[in-house]
Structure 1
């Protein structure tokens, strides 16, 4: 079937009757609320533990909370604790995270306690990963197994899509990111009915998850950078160069990923790989400073709050160190996602460009840097564009980012991804 014929066939596909969509509303609402509450619960637990590890304990012991010694101790201890979970807890905290993307097949319920404990320990201890992958995997598994038990008339695939959409909505505080990601996934499938009929239930789940998160936690992604004025030729050139350079830098990490993962895999045991990974992350933290620890979202806000507070060399150091920390954390077995650390890396790179060339507005540098880095690390075009745009509340930024996406995408498409097959080779 030609492209035109396929497009005509899809355009002429009958719309789904409303009576077929209405029964999906309640399941979508339930999944949306539950997915958000699980994400918020794990995040709150991790924040409490982080306060103990990085505030209470060092204060009581009389050591600097971000001293080199304390970073080495906490990161190595985090590797030991997560290693024990992976080694001893039933289910071993799920599959090797290097082999997983945002979407994953449902795992057995017995895997989830270990996965959640490993995730909370990781978030609190400081490795450079975010909560998105394990939280999505947990919500998919719960929705799949509970949904099939209590509502067997709905397909397991629908429950998985609802859970993924709901979690993305909860993570980003808006259903738009989920709608874009799900639409991108649908693009490679033959759909029955109209696109918006297929998006109806996932969008309901995403909106519910986002609203629940907003009501409970009040998240905000806008970095409050100085607004970008009317674009000119210099801004267009800067966006093109920064996004493309960030994409190339991200691809360097992508190409290094299988080799670093292979080195840790040859150690043969989680109680070797994870403590060693924690030690390496502690050394990297000592080199890059405490802002290069953790998932990176709060730390991005600190950078953006004072764009002139660091030199170009310091921004460059944070960029490289955080990128190396992301590769190490994702390779040695810590459970976590790569989106939020990639946002920090892209933002630091964009602020490096601003510090190097002050004529480049900080808002433009951050948005273009985040766009290019996310394209390389996630290979999710819509998600990358959305995340970069939402960080900078400027009506003129979106057009510049759309232009900058084009060369950056050409640099990353068709090349290895930051995800591995089970034999250790990169997914393409």
Structure 2
């Protein structure tokens, strides 16, 4: 992702940066409202699909039968929608990342429709990728009309920052992700000059979402008792195990995608994917469905509620569900399902060795899985840290990042080229 080249063309004076403020705030607010609207719509549909409908049919809401039937039906309906909507709801999601070039605006309604279906139907994907893509398309379309002289990269960075800020409820996440991107694409101008507009958009998005929905990533984990020498070993082992779990999905991704592509039709691929997701849900339990943000709070609220095998099974099932959902054609992001897998893995480690503090195990598990799935170091470290909201864990998380990063760096990404080969 690039940033505003006009802003970066030399030492940017304050006046030039101030001109960015109003459009940045506007884009951030609209990005948050799009996210909020889609999330609320998906929640309403979810209540119907997983509450009203099974109750009317006298079927258990999360019985194995209903999970298999519902996920298969969602795959069929979503596949039909992808086939019918303009632009087929955008490119193959296996080939897209969190921030990509703008889509044509005519694709956005169909993309949002299939996103709502996936979120409500129990698919193990989050909203971040399609919502970011939709906001980028809308911001680019509006920006080119109201400020045609502004560079296209400006609207991409503002929309991405506003969406990420809204997703996490803080502009810090947007700033960290963008600073990592900017570091790999050096340009003229101070870093904070280039971050000024996106940071304003991220703050506007975060504040809008906070005032409207009060999101929280804090899992209310038991207080960390303080660092011990043994915690260094525990942190590195758990984070590395999380990285290995995530890498298993990364390496399997092109092969699974190839199998679904061989079916030759999005309706067949997504129906088959939905059936597999339903079977995985029946195997792992209903907590392994959906994007995982609400479900992970249930896990964290009862760290002794399952055995080590139970937690480990949920981590594997969720990772497999993420893999299938991303490979068969559902539109969605991978951050929130990866967080669930990391939390379950950390709780498994705590159940195996109860001397390992819950907060340490959970945050390190999340750190490792996210590093492998997203390959975003700052995002992974930030997400792991905010789950516990305990600064005493930060030094250990930084240490745990080192061996986990050595495992994932240089490996394939969980994103494919058009020919099906993985990016690196």
The TM-score normalised by the length of structure 2 is 0.97
Instruction: Give the equivalent residue in structure 2 for 1:337.
Output: 333
Deviation per CA, 1:96-148: give whole Å up to 9, x if none: 00001111110101111110000000000001000000000000010001111
Equivalences for residues 343-382 of structure 1 within 5 A: 343-382=339-378
Aligned equivalents of 2:95, 2:305: Cα separation in 1: 38
Instruction: Give the equivalent residue in structure 1 for 2:397.
Output: 401
| Other structure's SS at 1:240 match | helix
| Other structure's SS at 2:344 match | helix
Deviation per CA, 1:225-259: give whole Å up to 9, x if none: 11112201111110000000110111011100000
Aligned equivalents of 1:314, 1:189: Cα separation in 2: 43
Deviation per CA, 1:367-392: give whole Å up to 9, x if none: 00000000000000000000000001
Instruction: Give the equivalent residue in structure 2 for 1:103.
Output: 99
Shift of 1:87: 0.7
Q: Is the 8 A contact 1:270 1:333 kept in 2?
A: yes
Shift of 1:153: 2.5
Deviation per CA, 1:10-44: give whole Å up to 9, x if none: xxx96311011111000001000000000000000
Shift of 1:152: 1.3
Instruction: Give the equivalent residue in structure 2 for 1:231.
Output: 227
Equivalences for residues 165-184 of structure 1 within 5 A: 165-184=161-180
Deviation per CA, 1:181-216: give whole Å up to 9, x if none: 000000012222111010000000000000000000
Instruction: Give the equivalent residue in structure 1 for 2:33.
Output: 37
Instruction: Give the equivalent residue in structure 1 for 2:288.
Output: 292
Aligned equivalents of 1:421, 1:339: Cα separation in 2: 20
Where does structure 2 lack aligned partners over 5 or more consecutive residues?
1-8
Q: Is the 8 A contact 1:227 1:393 kept in 2?
A: no
Residue from 188, 191, 194 that aligns with 1:192: 188
Equivalences for residues 310-325 of structure 1 within 5 A: 310-325=306-321
Instruction: Give the equivalent residue in structure 2 for 1:302.
Output: 298
Aligned equivalents of 2:389, 2:224: Cα separation in 1: 9
Q: Is the 8 A contact 1:225 1:304 kept in 2?
A: yes
Instruction: Give the equivalent residue in structure 2 for 1:162.
Output: 158
- CA RMSD of the aligned region, Å? 0.8
Q: In the comparison of the two structures, how many residue pairs are matched? A: 416
Instruction: Give the equivalent residue in structure 2 for 1:136.
Output: 132
Where does structure 1 lack aligned partners over 5 or more consecutive residues?
1-12
Shift of 1:155: 1.1
Equivalences for residues 134-283 of structure 1 within 5 A: 134-283=130-279
Shift of 1:90: 1.0
Aligned equivalents of 1:395, 1:345: Cα separation in 2: 23
Aligned equivalents of 2:258, 2:185: Cα separation in 1: 33
The runs of 4+ residues in structure 1 deviating greater than 4 Å are none
Aligned equivalents of 1:22, 1:154: Cα separation in 2: 14
| Other structure's SS at 2:416 match | coil
Residue from 402, 422, 426 that aligns with 2:422: 426
| Other structure's SS at 1:91 match | helix
| Other structure's SS at 2:415 match | coil
| Other structure's SS at 2:372 match | helix
Deviation per CA, 1:76-109: give whole Å up to 9, x if none: 1100111011111111010000001111110101
Instruction: Give the equivalent residue in structure 1 for 2:77.
Output: 81
Aligned equivalents of 1:268, 1:46: Cα separation in 2: 29
